């Protein structure tokens, strides 16, 4: 079942409150979500106090140029990999001078999947001072559902990561 815009808004509002209360700024590097994370964040009034930017780096060239992802990482692991989202998250955080950088890259379909990386494979990265976490999740659904579920998952995991001791 696809997440609702209301649920995305509620999650983004909670994230914004936490970031604002803790004087933390965030930036994002998006690929398969195509800016949906950034759109969801900028739907929240006052987000300019805690949100810097969301770069949609869909091509490998954009990932290298704007985020500093290494060509060797892309060649060795592919754009949809934990290694690449690690470099994306670190790159966007460094280039925007924010405390947190997040990244998402995946295969939203309907084509593009392989046996090892089927449609619905999405990799996520969080860069927080001196720590970068990455993980991979598989989603069922059409292109819109995969993009929305990926955005929801990113918001939920950020809240869990930031609020869990």
- Domain ranges within the chain, ordered by starting residue: 5-163
Residue 4 has pLDDT above 90, yes or no: no
Q: At what angle do helices 143-163 and 5-21 cross, to 10 degrees?
A: 30
Annotate 92-138 with DSSP letters as a single string: HHHHHT-SEEEEEEE--SSS---SSS-TTEEEEEEEETTEEEEEEEE
Q: Would you tell me which CATH number, out of the four given (3.90.950.20, 1.10.10.10, 3.30.70.2860, 3.40.50.2300), belongs to the domain 5-163?
A: 3.90.950.20
Over residues 29-47, the mean pLDDT reads 98
The predicted-structure confidence for 97-153, as pLDDT tens digits, reads as follows 999 999 999 999 999 999 999 999 999 999 998 899 999 999 999 999 999 999 999
- For residue 130, the model assigns a pLDDT of 86
């Amino acid at each position: 079942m696809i997440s609702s815009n209301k649920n995305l808004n509620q999650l983004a509002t909670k994230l914004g409150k936490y970031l604002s209360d803790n004087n933390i700024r965030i930036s994002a590097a998006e690929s398969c979500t195509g800016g949906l994370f950034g759109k969801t964040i900028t739907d929240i009034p006052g987000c300019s106090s805690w949100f810097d930017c969301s770069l949609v780096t869909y091509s490998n060239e954009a990932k290298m140029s704007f985020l500093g992802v290494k060509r060797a990482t892309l060649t060795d692991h592919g754009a949809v990999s934990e290694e690449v989202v690690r470099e994306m998250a670190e790159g966007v955080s460094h280039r925007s001078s924010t405390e947190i950088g997040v990244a998402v890259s995946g295969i939203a379909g309907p084509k593009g999947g392989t046996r090892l990386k089927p449609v619905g494979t999405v990799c996520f990265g969080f860069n927080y001072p001196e720590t970068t976490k990455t993980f991979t999740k598989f989603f069922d659904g059409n292109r819109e559902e995969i993009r929305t579920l990926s955005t929801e998952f990113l918001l939920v995991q950020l809240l869990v990561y930031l609020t869990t001791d």
